[in-house]
Each structure stands twice: as structure tokens, then as C-alpha cells.
């Protein structure tokens, strides 16, 4: 039986004033289900949305709302509370809270704790999309990031104010998976892992391209988990707007040929290459220098095949341990096993596309296949799947003839 992802981790949850505060109640419950011990601190604004009693009942601990509470200060003062925490998590983090943390205010309990703690601080912004996009908020977030604060989200979608855009709080399951990734044991210390992620874009003319529906999230989650577990991690990323995971060195590319060159240059100095990118198989033979015009006539695009990055890495003199991906709509195992052999891979991670899995979504399920075995990783958040995948990859790598001798 695997240990719970946050077994014994002491989480200080800061809840600030915003409509997403109601989701923090579910977050407390799930944090405890994941094995965490939770204490909640609410700002005055947060108490306008949810009562402290709700959080007290769910966390099983008294809730603090003010710096000036003499009985609470006698029981567990704010400095003890700051020292108690293994992890400070602020969800939802309002625009005001981010501004106050960025300036280093200490005139309420939560801001004081954020200053006084030596534990990692994670903020989960939630606000109206205009407030999120405002230069002031963006500057505050950039400053917090620069100081080592982890920023999760926000997600995009419908908002309580009726608008649609960036600013929704991440779902509790995603928050927990991300927090758990940073807390795991450093099982990949000493390994150099190269990950490719995202789609590739093949230009047709200066404004059009052929792309695909890969969001890059699976590959980014793998790179994030690799770095969090101690691996020296490089990421070659196709065109996606995802933030670089902490501790990962990133190189951006656009086309399959650019990805090919970046990966082949990096591969010889890595122990493991995980090819999670959805590389475009074809590109237009000619890229038009000017925008193609409508003429009423059909137009013809001649497509030529792109190089196969994995196959070229496999034919290096001393290739790294190779993990490929196979997205299939049917006969998953048969096609994936064929690819494993044809591409000379050490392992393949096969996923069924469709049914809200695989592309453009937060969850995935993978069938891992190697020469003499296989294992199913059941449907879960991509960050959780990434951690499980790396665990299996590291074990197979260490058992393989490609493992460096100590
Ligand atoms: O053959 P197929 O494209 O399904 O293989 C998928 C695997 O091969 C993925 O790991 C993908 O990153 C990799 N690939 C590649 N270069 C290509 C096409 C796919 O490295 N041109």
C-alpha cells in the first residue's frame, strides 16, 4: 500500500477574501484525506464568505482570524504557528493578499505568518480576470515568484462575476497533487533527465501553421516531478504558454526540426530521455514568404515528412534510456508494443485518446509497456501520473544496461 501523498505534512492553509473561499472548505477535507494535518488562518475578508466554524469542523483544529487574540496567542502564538508549518498554502489568494505579500506587510495574521515562516509558500490566485491581468497584480506575482513563492494557476474559464478568462482558482485535487510533488523523497538525485513536451507548429505562411491539440501539460508535469524528485532536468518545449516548473532548465522551440536539433544536442549528456511531445509528422514542403491569398480555387499543400526525433536519438552511439509516448484511439497495447520495438525504446507510455483523457485536459491514464512487462497507471491528475511514471522509469533505468556504473 503506497503512503498517502501528504502523510504527516503540516499544512498551514491561509484563506483570503474571495468567492473561491468556498472551495477552500473542500480543499481542507482533501488535504486531510491525503494525510496532511491542517490548520486554517482566515483573513477578515475571508470570514465574509465562509465562517471559521466550517474550517474548524473540517480541519479539526481551532481557526485563527486575527493577530490580536490573546487566548490564541497564549496557546499557539503566531511565531509558533509559522514554525509549526511544513508548508504554507494560501488558497484562494486574492489580488489584495498577493499585493500585501509582495510588499511584505505584517499587519494581519496571515501576512505576518508568510513573513515569519521558513516553510515553502504556495499561493493559489483567484480573482476577476481583469484584476489578474492588471500590471500591478502581474508585477506582484513576478516578484513573489522571484523570491521563491510557488504560484499555482490560475485556471481559465467561467467566473463568478459572469466573465470568462484567467482567474479561477485551481481545483483542490490539482492543488494537492502539486503540493505533494514538491514534498516527495529525492529519489531521482544524480539522474539527468531530458523531457520534450507540447506540440510543434509547422508554418504554412507568416500567419498560418499546422499544429496539434497537445497542451504540453503531461510533459511539463513530468519535468516538474523530475526536478522535484532531485533530477537534473532539461525541458525542450514546443509552443505552449505554460510556466517553467521550478528548477527546470527550459529551451523553447517551434517546429519539429527545431525540436529535433535541440533534443539531439542535449541527449548525449542525459541519462534518460522522455519524449512526451506530440511532434508533427509532416510539414509544408515550401513555407510561403507572404500570406496566401484567397482566389476561389482550391489550394494544394505539399507535405513532407519530419525527422523522427526518438528514432534519431535511439541511433546515437550511446543513447540515453528512452521513453516514448503513444497516443492511440484503438488497439492501444498492440500498436504501442509495435512502436516500442520499431523505435528501439526502453519503455513506452501509451494513452487512449478520447473520453476526456489525453489531450487538452488535466487527467490522464497510462499503460506502461517495456520488453518483458507492463503496468497500468489508473486515471488521475497529470501531476500524480507524472510522479508515478518517473518512479517506474527510474526503477527500470536502474535495472537496465544503460545505467551508469557508480
Ligand atoms: O509514431 P508516433 O508519432 O506515434 O510516436 C510517438 C512517439 O514518438 C512520441 O514519444 C513522440 O514524442 C515521438 N516522435 C518523435 N519524432 C517524430 C514523431 C514522434 O520523436 N517525428
The Å distance, Cα 327 to ligand 1 centre, comes to: 9
Q: Tell me which residue has its CA closest to atom 19 in ligand 1.
A: 279
Q: Which atom of ligand 1 lies at the shortest distance from residue 281's CA?
A: 21
Residue 358 CB coordination number (10 Å): 23
Closest CA to 109 of 147, 154, 76: 76
The rounded distance, in Å, linking the Cα atoms of 68 and 356 is: 49
How deeply is 216 buried, as exposed, middle or buried, from its count of CB atoms within 10 A (0-12, 13-18, 19+)?
buried
DSSP code string of 271-287? SEEEE--B--SEEESS-
The Å distance, Cα 245 to ligand 1 centre, comes to: 23
Cα 191 to Cα 30, 215, 256, 299, 345, distances in angstroms:
32, 26, 26, 49, 18
With a CB cutoff of 8 Å and minimum separation 6, the contacts of 346 are 321, 322, 323, 370, 371, 396, 397, 400, 402
Q: Tell me which residue has its CA closest to atom 9 in ligand 1.
A: 325
Helix (H) or strand (E) holding 295: none
Where in the chain are all domains bearing CATH 3.40.50.1950?
Answer: 10-181
Helix (H) or strand (E) holding 151: strand 150-151
The rounded distance, in Å, linking the Cα atoms of 166 and 157 is: 7
The rounded distance, in Å, linking the Cα atoms of 246 and 227 is: 7
The Å distance, Cα 177 to ligand 1 centre, comes to: 28
Nearest 5°: phi and psi at 167? Answer: 150, -5
Q: Tell me which residue has its CA closest to atom 2 in ligand 1.
A: 326
The Å distance, Cα 170 to ligand 1 centre, comes to: 31
Annotated catalytic residue 361: no
Q: Which of 136, 161, 286, 399 is catalytic?
A: 161
The rounded distance, in Å, linking the Cα atoms of 345 and 347 is: 5
Please, what is the angle between helix 172-183 and helix 21-33, to 10°?
50
With a CB cutoff of 8 Å and minimum separation 6, the contacts of 106 are 112, 115
- The angle formed by the CA atoms of residues 300, 302 and 305, to the nearest 5 degrees, is 155
Q: Which atom of ligand 1 lies at the shortest distance from residue 196's CA?
A: 12
Q: Reduced to 3 states, what is the DSSP secondary structure of residue 179?
A: helix
With a CB cutoff of 8 Å and minimum separation 6, the contacts of 359 are 213, 214, 215, 278, 327, 353
Residue 169 contacts residue 179 (beta carbons within 8 Å): no
The pLDDT of residue 98: 98
The ligand 1 site (C-beta within 6 Å) comprises: 256, 275, 277, 279, 281, 306, 308-310, 324-326, 339
The pLDDT of residue 358: 58
Where in the chain are all domains bearing CATH 3.40.50.10300?
Answer: 192-398
The best mutation among 303, 324, 351 to test binding of ligand 1, ranked by most ligand atoms within 8 Å of the C-beta, falls on: 324
The Å distance, Cα 369 to ligand 1 centre, comes to: 16
Residue 31 contacts residue 38 (beta carbons within 8 Å): yes
The best mutation among 236, 274, 325 to test binding of ligand 1, ranked by most ligand atoms within 8 Å of the C-beta, falls on: 325
Which set of grid coordinates corresponds to residue 219? 510533459
The rounded distance, in Å, linking the Cα atoms of 48 and 64 is: 14
Left if phi > 0, otherwise alpha if psi is -120 to 50, otherwise beta: which for 245?
beta
Nearest 5°: phi and psi at 95? Answer: -60, -40
The Å distance, Cα 251 to ligand 1 centre, comes to: 19
Residue 328 CB coordination number (10 Å): 18
CATH architecture of 10-181: 3-Layer(aba) Sandwich (3.40)
The Å distance, Cα 206 to ligand 1 centre, comes to: 26
Q: Which atom of ligand 1 lies at the shortest distance from residue 307's CA?
A: 21
Nearest 5°: phi and psi at 290? Answer: -125, 165
Which set of grid coordinates corresponds to residue 294? 484567397
Helix (H) or strand (E) holding 195: strand 192-197
Pick the CATH number of 192-398 from 3.90.950.20, 2.60.40.420, 3.40.50.10300, 3.40.50.10490: 3.40.50.10300
Q: How far is CA 92 from the centre of its chain?
A: 18
Residue 181 contacts residue 193 (beta carbons within 8 Å): no
Which set of grid coordinates corresponds to residue 326? 503513444
Q: Tell me which residue has its CA closest to atom 5 in ligand 1.
A: 326
Q: For the chain (length 406 residues), average pLDDT per consecutive 10?
A: 76 97 96 95 97 97 91 81 96 98 96 96 95 97 92 82 85 85 79 97 97 92 90 97 87 98 98 97 96 92 97 96 92 93 96 67 83 89 83 93 71
Q: Tell me which residue has its CA closest to atom 4 in ligand 1.
A: 326
Q: Which atom of ligand 1 lies at the shortest distance from residue 313's CA?
A: 20
Q: Which atom of ligand 1 lies at the shortest distance from residue 310's CA?
A: 20
Q: Reduced to 3 states, what is the DSSP secondary structure of residue 119?
A: coil
For residue 296, the cross-strand partners are: none
Please report where in the chains the cell 504501442 appears, as a residue.
336
Amino acid at each position: 500500500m503506497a503512503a498517502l501523498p501528504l502523510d504527516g505534512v503540516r499544512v498551514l492553509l491561509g484563506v483570503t477574501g474571495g468567492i473561491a473561499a468556498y472551495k477552500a472548505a473542500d480543499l481542507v477535507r482533501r488535504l486531510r484525506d491525503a494525510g496532511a494535518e491542517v490548520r486554517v488562518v482566515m483573513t477578515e475578508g475571508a470570514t465574509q464568505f465562509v465562517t471559521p466554524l466550517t474550517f474548524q469542523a473540517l480541519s479539526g483544529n481551532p481557526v485563527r482570524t486575527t493577530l490580536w487574540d490573546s487566548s490564541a496567542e497564549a496557546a499557539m502564538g503566531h511565531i509558533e504557528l509559522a514554525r509549526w508549518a511544513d508548508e504554507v498554502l494560501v488558497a484562494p489568494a486574492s489580488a489584495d493578499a498577493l499585493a500585501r505579500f509582495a510588499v511584505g506587510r505584517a499587519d494581519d495574521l496571515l501576512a505576518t505568518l508568510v513573513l515569519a515562516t521558513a516553510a515553502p509558500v504556495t499561493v493559489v490566485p483567484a480573482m476577476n480576470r481583469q484584476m489578474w491581468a492588471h500590471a500591478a497584480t502581474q508585477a506582484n506575482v513576478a516578484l513573489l515568484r522571484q523570491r521563491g513563492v510557488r504560484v499555482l494557476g490560475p485556471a481559465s474559464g467561467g467566473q463568478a462575476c459572469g466573465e470568462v478568462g484567467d482567474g479561477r482558482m485551481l481545483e483542490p485535487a490539482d492543488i494537492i497533487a502539486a503540493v505533494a510533488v514538491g514534498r516527495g523523497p529525492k529519489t531521482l538525485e544524480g539522474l539527468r533527465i531530458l523531457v520534450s513536451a507540447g506540440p510543434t507548429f509547422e508554418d504554412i505562411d507568416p500567419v498560418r501553421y499546422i499544429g496539434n491539440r497537445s497542451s504540453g501539460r503531461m510533459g511539463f508535469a513530468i519535468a516538474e516531478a523530475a526536478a522535484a524528485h532531485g533530477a537534473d532536468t532539461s525541458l525542450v518545449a514546443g509552443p505552449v504558454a505554460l510556466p517553467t516548473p521550478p528548477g527546470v532548465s527550459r529551451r523553447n522551440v517551434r517546429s519539429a526540426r527545431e525540436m529535433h536539433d535541440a533534443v539531439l544536442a542535449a541527449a548525449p549528456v542525459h541519462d534518460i530521455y522522455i519524449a512526451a511531445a506530440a511532434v508533427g509528422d509532416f510539414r509544408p514542403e515550401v513555407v510561403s514568404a507572404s500570406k496566401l491569398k484567397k482566389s476561389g480555387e482550391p489550394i494544394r499543400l505539399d507535405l513532407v515528412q519530419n525527422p523522427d526525433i526518438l528514432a534519431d536519438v535511439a541511433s546515437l552511439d550511446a543513447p540515453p534510456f528512452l521513453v516514448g509516448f503513444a497516443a492511440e484511439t484503438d488497439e492501444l497495447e498492440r500498436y504501442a508494443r509495435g512502436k516500442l520495438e520499431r523505435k528501439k525504446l526502453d519503455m513506452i507510455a501509451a494513452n487512449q485518446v478520447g473520453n476526456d483523457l489525453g489531450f487538452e485536459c488535466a487527467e490522464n491514464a497510462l499503460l506502461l509497456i517495456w520488453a518483458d512487462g507492463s503496468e497500468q497507471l489508473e486515471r488521475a491528475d497529470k501531476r500524480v501520473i507524472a510522479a508515478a511514471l518517473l518512479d517506474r522509469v527510474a526503477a527500470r533505468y536502474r535495472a537496465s544496461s544503460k545505467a551508469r556504473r557508480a
